[in-house]
Amino acid sequence: MRMDETPQDETGALLLAAARRAIAYRADPTAHPPATDYAACLAAFDGPLSEAGEPGADVLDALVARAEPGLRASVGPRFFGWVIGNSHPVGVAADWLTAAWGQNTANHFAAPAAAAAETVAARWLLELLRLPAECSVGFVTGATMASFVALAAARGEVLRRAGWDVEAQGLFGAPPVRVLIGEEAHASVFSALHYLGFGKASLIRVPADAEGVMRPDAFEDLLAREVPEGAPLIVVTQAGHIHSGATDAHERLVPLAQARAGWVHVDGAFGLWARACPARAHLAAGVEAADSWATDGHKWLQTPFDCGYAIVRDAGAHRRAMTIAASYLPPVSEHERDPSHYVPELSRRARGFASWALLRHFGRNGIAAMVERHCAQARLLAGLLATEPGITVLNEVVLNQVAVRFGGAVAGAPEGAQGDALTRATIAAVQEEGTCFAAGASWRGRWILRLSVIGASTTDDDIRLSAQAIIDAWRRVASAAGAL
């Protein structure tokens, strides 16, 4: 088939139909607000398992008809919910090919191109984030698994130094490992730790300041009081707090931890990307001295879901924690990097293709400009909202996250329950109206609207439109509640 011909075969027709559907959707994702909720989607998808099966083209039509009414416009320009990148078209195109090529990315012999793309994307990533060149990188599903992988390496290494081989002996009977972590660390890190045997009650939690970062004095004090000299130690820090965007004071914390031979792991799901932007890099200064890092591709790099990176300075510790060996797999080699030696999975998607494509597409300057633009847009959004009586921006907007409270600052309006109720009502009104999307969260006992500016397609006009929509929603809620 020539590239400009309409394919006559079934495979070609099916893939072209899928491409046409995807192109139509991406032309304006905001033209399809989710018309239905989960229950309606469930009813639409439901039905008996087919006995005889159905032709592919019919199945595709049925899939689109059921899915499109239930899609959230997270690839659109005014989506500020959670922390979600745009699934950038260059990454999507690479990912279509990834699926079509069907490579099983376990090793360099089974999937030479996929393994090579990962090796090079890993090198570019370390350069971009200004992390040590000797680090190994595992391509995982997201930052949760990246923290799991890196903390498995940490656990193995701090125990190995204490004379215990956790890969051989397991955890029962091992010397206790002390884990210091900020009390406002991301929920996923607590999950990663408990998958590894570090139960939530066993952690030493460091009090946080108003921006949610660890107080260095409290950290130093707990290190002295709770960690015996010579005890195996893991310290978990954060670059990019989920509500404030703030980053722990690595220049102070990392030397304290390393003076006690501690392994420092950084959850930098999105905040690590400040390092890719000269104007923002100071926010994550000192992070490079840590031992491991977790970050995402599907946030600031805009890769399609799913993609995260587990980055470990000690590649040997990384491999000891993850390597899968079998007679039919290539042995560990100095020369050929096998993707499966750095992640929990054996068979998996070739995530390196989309990562390589997007890093190449944006380039160093493109990524720096995007990060800087998002930070400026977050400040613009916060500034516009803060001019409205009754709206308070709770965080110092240093990065791309904006935490907003409604009602609390109005003279005479009580904090607490009423502020929570007004904030919840405003969030519902914003979602109902539909100009933009964002969602709520609880921060230090208060309900907030959290806005995350991270989509590649967001313009300053989108920010202005969204700010106005949020202000209008608040005015409706406030006048109905008599709060103004």
Binding site for ligand PLP (CB under 6 A): 83, 142-144, 186, 188, 240, 242, 267, 269-270, 296, 308
- Of residues 277 and 483, the one with the C-beta less far from ligand PLP: 277
- Cα 172 to its chain centre, rounded Å, is 32
- Of residues 194 and 364, the one with the C-beta less far from ligand PLP: 194
- Of residues 166 and 301, the one with the C-beta less far from ligand PLP: 301
The runs of H, that is alpha helices, within 387-438 are: 417-433
Q: What secondary structure letter does DSSP report for 390?
A: T
- Write the secondary structure of 299-335 as one string of H (helix), E (strand) and C (coil): CCCCCCCCCEEEEECCHHHHHHHHCCCCCCCCCCCCC
Q: Rounded to 10 degrees, what is the CA torsion of 285, 288, 292, 298?
A: 60
The CA-atom distances, in angstroms, between 467 and each of 33, 209, 366, 405, 460 are 19, 28, 26, 14, 11
Which residue's structure tokens are 């992390």?
A: 131
Q: Which helix (H) or strand (E) holds 61?
A: helix 56-67
CB of 344 to ligand PLP, least distance (A): 13
CB of 433 to ligand PLP, least distance (A): 26
* Closest to 119 (Cα-Cα) out of 134, 107, 137, 102: 137
Classify burial at 439, counting beta carbons within 10 Å of its beta carbon; exposed 0-12, middle 13-18, buried 19 or more.
middle
CB of 400 to ligand PLP, least distance (A): 11
Could you count the other beta carbons within 10 Å of the beta carbon of residue 370? 22
- Of residues 76 and 245, the one with the C-beta less far from ligand PLP: 245
CB of 101 to ligand PLP, least distance (A): 24
CB of 436 to ligand PLP, least distance (A): 19
- Of residues 144 and 355, the one with the C-beta less far from ligand PLP: 144
Angle in degrees, 0-180, between the axes of helices 315-322 and 143-161, rounded to the nearest 10: 100
Could you tell me if residue 175 is left (phi over 0), alpha (psi between -120 and 50 degrees) or otherwise beta? beta
CB of 266 to ligand PLP, least distance (A): 10
- Of residues 239 and 477, the one with the C-beta less far from ligand PLP: 239
- Of residues 227 and 242, the one with the C-beta less far from ligand PLP: 242
CB of 82 to ligand PLP, least distance (A): 7
